[in-house]
């Protein structure tokens, strides 16, 4: 079997597994928190996006990997991670916190969508083996990042009044 269908199947299954985890564990946990703590938890996860710089490290990925994809993906992740860190550092300065929360989610979502586009343009699914040790990033990490961006954007646009009336604890499960 060629690399492309294996990569695509693993990517889809990564989304399925994370969506199941989201429904069973992550979403109920986030809904039990106030808005700030929920966004803080998501920002903490995204603060590790500096890890995307691994796409540019020879030895972690093949030297023959597509530079146009690797560079864009690496720096997009890096910028998103810095914005998430800025959100965490400004938690006590609410206007700045909300600005950075919105920024890292918009920038991060755009980065991942554009990374998918670039990956298709350079034929990455057929060349997925060139990702080397970074192969796990698009299979395990990217689906979680995209899903949590979706949750964060949903929480941002949802009215604070609605958020305050969400059931918590045992009431949420009954």
- For 35-59, write each residue's pLDDT tens digit: 999 999 999 999 999 999 999 888 8
pTM (predicted TM-score)? 0.88
Composition of the chain by helix, strand, coil, percent to 5:
85, 0, 15
Tokens of 130: 């060139």
- Average predicted confidence (pLDDT) for the chain: 90
Q: How long a stretch of residues is the chain?
A: 174
Tokens of 70: 């690797």
Q: What are phi and psi of 62, to 5 degrees?
A: -65, 145
Q: Taking a C-beta distance cutoff of 8 angstroms, is the pair 122, 73 a contact?
A: no
- Over residues 149-165, the pLDDT tens digits come to 999 999 999 867 655 55
CB 84 within 8 A of CB 107: no
pLDDT at res. 163 = 52
Look at residue 173 in the predicted model and tell me its pLDDT.
44
Q: What is the pLDDT of residue 164?
A: 52
- Below-70 pLDDT ranges, the chain: 159, 161-174
- Rounded CA gap, 54 and 143, in Å? 17
């Amino acid at each position: 079997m060629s690399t492309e269908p294996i990569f695509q199947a693993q990517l889809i299954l990564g989304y399925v597994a994370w969506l199941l985890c989201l429904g069973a564990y992550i979403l109920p946990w986030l809904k039990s928190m106030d808005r700030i703590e929920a966004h803080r938890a998501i920002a903490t996860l995204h603060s590790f996006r500096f890890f995307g710089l691994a796409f540019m490290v020879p030895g972690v990925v093949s030297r023959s990997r597509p530079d146009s994809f690797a560079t864009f993906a690496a720096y997009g992740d890096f910028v998103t991670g810095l914005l998430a860190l800025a959100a965490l550092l400004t938690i006590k300065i609410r206007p700045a916190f909300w600005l950075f929360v919105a920024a890292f989610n918009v920038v991060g979502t755009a980065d991942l969508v554009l990374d998918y586009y670039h990956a298709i343009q350079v034929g990455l699914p057929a060349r997925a083996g060139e990702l080397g040790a970074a192969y796990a990033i698009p299979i395990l990490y990217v689906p979680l990042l995209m899903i949590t961006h979706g949750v964060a954007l949903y929480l941002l646009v949802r009215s604070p009044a609605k958020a305050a009336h969400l059931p918590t604890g045992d009431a949420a499960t009954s």
